[in-house]
């Protein structure tokens, strides 16, 4: 009998998911019409074509710096994107959109009532303890009002589709709804990797939503200023899980990205601290939760907010969007009363239902929850970081008992919802289309008369078929959401922003916080510090592995130079014969030990942290190179596998090359504004300091002529000037020619004098230069350093003291130069960079600890 090969399953044959509603098939046997074109397109691409596009999407996301930070240390990972979008037809989306508009209107009315007359409580629609026991209700925000029609400017709803095919809301997001920026990034990527499919599907575009957001913020600001408004985006900082989105939106909308330390309350107004002085802020689009926004009236130990912010908001001199206190609407227990609230405030039932909800603060609800916990999802009424929903059918007996005990002890803090099995949608996994559970978050922004809803939103699917928590922190994968238009849409971008005439009185120039230029300054310093250390280590590795054995004195001098340059003390400065004889472990530590200040890895990590702080200021090419440098941190660890015997200098070559490429990009592509000027000042200060340290460590000690020549050549190689040195006349003292090239040569872009000339030019262009009579301190330091080099006698510098064997004059000059450069940096920091003020909490309460 003939052997027949088994039939291989078609990886592009999508089968209906078991259990939940299937987005592709619905209640039909065949794929629904609006899915067919997409599935046929994927079939024509084939598994290899889909994989290639998936890899291209991953590259674009990485190059864009799209990331999601997870964990207490802010460990960053590239934003995950499924190459298969969720597809909804226009008619179906219309019904969902109408329900979202109505729900946003209702929550806006609810917010006004809860911080206003509280008619819902007075008429018994909701129990008072539902409001007053909730951590999101802030009494300090009573009576605060946003000018204009709406209080709730931004709203997001998490929705799942039930077995009956109807969408239901499982969660409302009203404090600082996240995800809109990621949805835009997903769309940007998908339109690039699947251009034909995207174009031919006539997908509704997202631009109008962001245009509406910008228009709305400007209109709100118009109520408090007749000048061009200053709108900022307030972020908790680079360790926040969605920090990429904050910078992305700041770039897209054209608003400065600020942290709490960048803002100041003074004379009854909110100000941004910039290089040009204080800039008044009119609107704050916040990404910081309510309770952390003001350490004076809210959470006393918060470092994320602005002391006194609430008082300025209360006076009507600044608008915060969404308004402080709006987190109370995120209480899932409100869903239990949403039908009654809708009847009271709107006079009708809601078109978009919530999932069936029970609040354990009501005795009969608690009895039901206790009796039916196996079919329910248990949630806290007040969301806390790290606290997840519990699915009753997944609980062990011990866990169930523990949850029931918590419910009985704190009934008002617990909500239960009927478990709804989410709908499933195709997802590309391990080379095939698989059904995965799906959750859709869509967004609404207040606009003229009502709200504008983003067509689609951010879809998330579970990594596994049985995933329950569909959040990014639990490993969910994002999807683009395609709402298919019945006809091609007109392209709209933010350039098409409203055509109303701009207010008279002059516009405001683009400014940014002092923190931004401080991080740019230190980006330049850490980049040069990393490059200098890498170059010297690369040179030392070559010398150690050279076929020509290096004399012990010169070898030890180079090793000590590594410690002196990198400041990784005590290192080779110890009189340790064993360490100097076998330097491998110490050299490895200087490269790889991230906990050791001055190591290559520590400097590189510091550089990346500074870059993260100013991500919104960096171009796509710059971000791409920074991502390459971020990868180098991991690649350097391969050194450990091979040791010093396998050309370790080659492992440092890509790092040096990336740093050189970054330097070239900064030089050729950055606009010569204040940001570039401070970054280049940081580079010049550090480059000069590194050269001075290296010369002092390697050339002050006199060696025999042949050994001295080897050390001098090593220094010239490290500073990339050996070829120039060799091309010049060979007459005269080698040390004199070397020092002339490295110290005094105005045409050598690596000489100390060249850096000082550049610093002088930068300092002359800085703002706020008024300092009284005479030169400013930093100008004096740079001038003194440049003059000292110009007046130097090189022959005298190279003459060593017979008794000590030291070039004393050279050492004194280099020590003075080092001091002057460090003082220059200190003066620039003190004058232009705002120091973060630490707020001391005077009283700590149990309530603070709970929140």
Q: What is the mean pLDDT of residues 177-184?
A: 96
pLDDT band of 507, cuts 50, 70, 90: very low
Angle separating helix axes 338-345 and 90-114, nearest 10 degrees: 80
To the nearest whole percent, how much of the chain has pLDDT over 90?
Answer: 68
Q: What is the mean pLDDT of residues 162-190?
A: 95
Cα separation values, 37 from 71, 478, 484, 490, Å = 40, 21, 11, 22
Q: What is the mean pLDDT of residues 296-322?
A: 94
- Which residues are 283's β-sheet partners? 231, 319
- Yes or no: say if 778 and 763 are a contact pair by the CB < 8 Å rule: yes
Q: What is the pTM of this model?
A: 0.88
C-beta atoms surrounding 78 within 10 Å: 17
Name the E strands within 224-291: 231-234, 257-258, 263-266, 269-274, 277-280, 283-286
Range with the poorest average pLDDT among 202-211, 470-479, 573-582, 656-665: 573-582
Helices (DSSP H) in 165-234: which residue ranges?
180-193, 195-200, 207-221
Q: Which three-class secondary structure state does DSSP give residue 441?
A: strand
Copy the structure tokens of residue 707: 């050994």
pLDDT band of 252, cuts 50, 70, 90: very high
- Which residues are 433's β-sheet partners? 428
Q: How high is the mean pLDDT of the chain? A: 88
In this model, does residue 7 exceed pLDDT 70? no
Tens of pLDDT, residue by residue over 334-344, are 999 999 999 99
> What is the rounded CA–CA span in Å between residue 447 and residue 669?
38
Cα separation values, 147 from 151, 220, 497, Å = 8, 6, 21
Q: What is the mean pLDDT of residues 264-284?
A: 92
In this model, does residue 375 exceed pLDDT 90? yes
Tens of pLDDT, residue by residue over 189-224, are 999 999 999 999 999 999 999 999 999 999 999 999
> What is the rounded CA–CA span in Å between residue 478 and residue 458?
7
| E strand or H helix that includes residue 59 | helix 33-64
218 φ, ψ (degrees, to nearest 5): -65, -40
């Amino acid at each position: 009998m003939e052997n027949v090969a088994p039939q291989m399953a078609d990886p592009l044959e999508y089968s209906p998911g078991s259990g939940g509603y299937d987005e592709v098939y619905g209640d039909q046997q065949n794929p629904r019409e609006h899915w067919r074109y997409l599935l046929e397109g994927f079939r024509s691409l084939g598994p290899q074509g889909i994989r290639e596009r998936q890899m291209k999407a991953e590259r674009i996301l990485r190059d864009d710096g799209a990331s999601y930070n997870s964990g207490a240390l802010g460990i960053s990972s590239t934003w995950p994107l499924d190459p298969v979008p969720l597809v909804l037809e226009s008619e179906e989306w219309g019904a969902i959109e109408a329900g979202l508009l109505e729900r946003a209107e209702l929550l806006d009315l609810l917010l006004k009532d809860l911080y206003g007359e509280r008619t819902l409580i007075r008429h018994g629609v909701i129990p008072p303890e539902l409001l007053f026991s909730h951590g999101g209700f802030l009494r300090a925000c009573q009576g605060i009002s946003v000018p204009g029609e709406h209080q709730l400017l931004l709203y997001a709803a998490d929705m799942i589709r039930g077995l009956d095919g109807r969408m239901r809301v499982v969660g409302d997001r009203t404090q600082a709804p996240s995800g809109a920026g990621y949805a835009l990034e997903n769309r940007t990527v998908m339109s690039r990797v699947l251009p034909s499919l995207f174009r031919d599907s006539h997908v509704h575009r997202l631009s109008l939503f962001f245009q509406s957001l910008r228009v709305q913020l400007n209109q709100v600001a118009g109520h408090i200023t007749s000048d061009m408004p200053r709108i900022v985006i307030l972020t908790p900082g680079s360790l926040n899980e969605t920090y990429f989105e904050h910078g992305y939106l700041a770039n897209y909308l054209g608003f400065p990205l600020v942290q709490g330390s960048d803002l100041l309350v003074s004379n009854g107004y909110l100000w941004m601290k910039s290089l040009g002085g204080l800039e008044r802020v009119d609107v704050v689009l916040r990404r910081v939760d309510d309770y952390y926004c003001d350490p004076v009236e809210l959470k006393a130990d918060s470092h994320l907010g602005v002391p006194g912010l609430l008082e300025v908001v209360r006076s009507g001199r600044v608008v915060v969007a969404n308004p402080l206190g709006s987190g109370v609407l995120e209480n899932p227990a409100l869903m239990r009363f949403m039908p009654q609230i809708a009847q009271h405030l709107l006079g009708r039932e809601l078109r978009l239902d919530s999932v069936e909800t029970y609040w354990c603060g009501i005795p009969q609800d608690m009895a039901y929850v206790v009796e039916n916990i196996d079919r329910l999802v248990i949630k806290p009424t007040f969301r806390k970081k790290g606290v997840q929903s519990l699915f009753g059918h997944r609980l062990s007996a011990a866990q169930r008992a523990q949850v029931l005990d918590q419910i009985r002890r704190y009934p008002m803090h617990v909500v239960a919802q009927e478990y709804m099995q989410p709908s499933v949608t195709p997802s590309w996994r391990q080379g095939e289309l698989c059904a995965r559970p799906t959750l859709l978050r869509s967004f609404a922004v207040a606009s003229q008369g009502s709200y504008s809803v983003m067509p689609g939103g951010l879809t998330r699917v579970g990594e596994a078929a049985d995933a329950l928590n569909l959040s990014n922190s639990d490993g969910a994968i994002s999807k683009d959401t395609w709402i298919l238009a019945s006809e091609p849409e007109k392209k709209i971008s933010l350039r098409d922003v409203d055509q109303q005439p701009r207010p008279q009185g002059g516009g405001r120039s683009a400014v940014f916080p002092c923190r931004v230029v401080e991080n740019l300054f230190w980006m330049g310093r850490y980049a040069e510090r990393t490059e200098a250390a890498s170059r010297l280590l690369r040179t030392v590795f070559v010398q150690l592995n050279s076929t020509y054995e290096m004399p012990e004195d010169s070898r030890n001098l180079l090793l000590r130079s590594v410690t002196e340059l990198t400041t990784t003390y005590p290192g080779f400065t110890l009189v340790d014969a064993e360490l100097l004889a076998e330097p491998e472990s110490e050299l490895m530590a200087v490269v790889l030990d991230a906990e050791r200040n001055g190591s290559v890895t520590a400097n590189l990590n510091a550089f990346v942290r500074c870059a993260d702080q100013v991500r919104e200021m960096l171009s796509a090419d710059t971000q791409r190179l920074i991502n390459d440098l971020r990868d180098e941190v991991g690649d350097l660890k391969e050194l450990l596998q091979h040791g010093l015997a396998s050309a370790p200098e080659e492992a440092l070559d890509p790092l040096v090359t990336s740093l050189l490429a970054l330097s070239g990009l900064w030089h050729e592509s950055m606009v010569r504004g204040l940001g570039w000027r401070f970054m280049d000042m940081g580079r010049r200060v550090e480059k000069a300091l590194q050269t001075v340290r290296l010369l002092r460590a390697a050339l002050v000690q006199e060696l025999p002529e042949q050994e001295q020549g080897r050390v001098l050549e090593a220094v010239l190689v490290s500073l990339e000037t050996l070829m120039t040195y060799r091309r010049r006349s060979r007459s005269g003292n080698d040390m004199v020619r070397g020092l002339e090239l490295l110290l005094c040569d105005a045409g050598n872009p690596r000489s100390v004098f060249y850096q000082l000339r550049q610093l002088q030019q930068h300092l002359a262009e800085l703002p706020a230069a008024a300092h009284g009579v005479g030169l400013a301190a930093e100008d004096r330091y740079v001038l003194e350093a440049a003059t000292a080099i110009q007046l130097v006698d090189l022959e005298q510098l190279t003459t060593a003291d017979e008794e000590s064997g030291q070039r004393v004059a050279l050492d004194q000059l280099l020590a003075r130069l080092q001091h002057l450069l460090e003082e220059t940096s200190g003066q620039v920091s003190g004058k232009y960079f705002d120091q973060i003020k630490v707020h001391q909490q005077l009283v700590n309460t149990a309530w603070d600890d709970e929140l």
